[in-house]
Amino acid sequence: MQPPMQQAGPPPSNMYHPPQQAMMGGGLFSLHKFLMIGVILILIAGLIAVLPDFSGPPAEVDYDQTDLDDVKKFAEDTESHNDLVRIMDSLATILGMAGVALIGYAFVREAYDEDTTTPALRIALLILGSVMLLQLIGSGASLSLSL
């Protein structure tokens, strides 16, 4: 009796030739990857927005109000703190918008993938992604009346 034949498994892949399944997997896009990156960017934006609150604005009691140099120093420190708050808020807004944009893009992109979703889920993802992206566009526009 002959020993049973061993089944040939997939050939081992080396670092220069990835497996064929990895090549057919859709490239760099993954819904989970884009969602996680978007959520992480939004969390980082929230952290950056509160960083200036850790130190707080300068307090008047720390400066001698009778000394003219201390009064000027207090005004400079207050303006410096206000600049820091504006910069951190702008950076947090940019990161938050990038995170929401990535999530919206992931929803729209996933809605066009016919293999993994039902038609109802595709429509819901398309609507949700479109609303998220349109909200980003609309947040920059403001209506004002001047009389």
**Positions in the chain short of pLDDT 50:** 23, 142-147
Q: What is the pLDDT of residue 43?
A: 92
Over residues 60-82, the pLDDT tens digits come to: 888 888 888 888 998 999 999 99
CA distance 104 to 131: 8
Q: Which residues contact 132 (CB under 8 A, 6 or more apart)?
A: 100, 101, 103, 104, 107
- Residue 72 lies inside a defined structural domain of this protein: yes
- Residue 11 lies inside a defined structural domain of this protein: no
Q: What is the pLDDT of residue 12?
A: 57
Contact 37, 96 (CB under 8 A): no
- Residue 82 lies inside a defined structural domain of this protein: yes
- Residue 21 lies inside a defined structural domain of this protein: no
Q: What is the pLDDT of residue 58?
A: 87
**Cα–Cα distances in Å, from 6 out to 3, 9, 26, 89?**
9, 9, 33, 63
- Residue 17 lies inside a defined structural domain of this protein: no
Q: Total domain count for the chain? A: 1
27 token code pair: 């490239």
Question: pTM score > 0.75 for this model?
Answer: no
User: What's CA 104's distance to the chain center, in Å?
Assistant: 11
6 token code pair: 């061993």
Query: Which residue segment(s) compose the domain that 129 sits in?
Result: 42-139
